[in-house]
Each structure stands twice: as C-alpha cells, then as structure tokens.
Amino acid sequence: MMLSSNPLEKRLQLAGIFLIAGLLVEAICLFWALPITFVIFAMLGGFLMLVGLAIFLYSLISKT
C-alpha cells in the first residue's frame, strides 16, 4: 500500500497502521486468558496503540 504524498494524510495513515496493529494484537490476546497474553496485551498492544494515538495527536497540531 502506498502512503499519501500529503504530509497530513501520511501521518493519519501511519497512525492508522499502528492502531490497527495494536488492535489486532489486543484482539488476538483476548482469545486466551494466560499470563503471557496479558503481558503481550499490555506491553506490545499498549505500545502500538500509544504510538498510533501520539502520531494522530501530532498530526492535529502539525502545520501541514
């Protein structure tokens, strides 16, 4: 998939990709109630979601 040449749209796309990855990690982890899935959910899923949200918020305040 090609990222948009528009900087704002590109940031939104990047944010979306991170959020989708984070959401998929979280969805997969919810299938098992195991300590390791809890850690993956919180660490990996949470990290990807936070990065996605940060990029989205940055895109709101960026000039372009």
Partner 1 sequence: MPLATSLIVGLVLFSAVLIGVLVARPSVTISRDGKILAFVGLFILPIFCGLLGFASELDRSKTTAFCLSCHIMEPFGKSLYVDDPSHVPAAHFQNHRVPADEACYSCHTNYAMFGRLKVKMYGLKHVYVYYFGHQPAPEDIKLYEPFNNRECLHCHLGARSFEEGVMHNADPATLTAIKSNQLSCLSCHDVAHDLVHMKGAKLWKESK
Residues that bind partner 1 (CB under 8 A): 1, 4, 6, 8-10, 12-13, 15-17, 19-20, 22-24, 26-27, 29-31, 33-39, 41-42, 45-46, 49, 52-53, 56-57
Between CA 36 and CA 5 the distance in angstroms is: 40
Shortest separation between residue 59's beta carbon and partner 1, angstroms: 9
The amino acid that residue 25 corresponds to is V
Shortest separation between residue 1's beta carbon and partner 1, angstroms: 7
Shortest separation between residue 61's beta carbon and partner 1, angstroms: 13
**Around Cβ 18, how many Cβ atoms within 10 Å?**
20
Helix (H) / strand (E) containing 51: helix 46-61
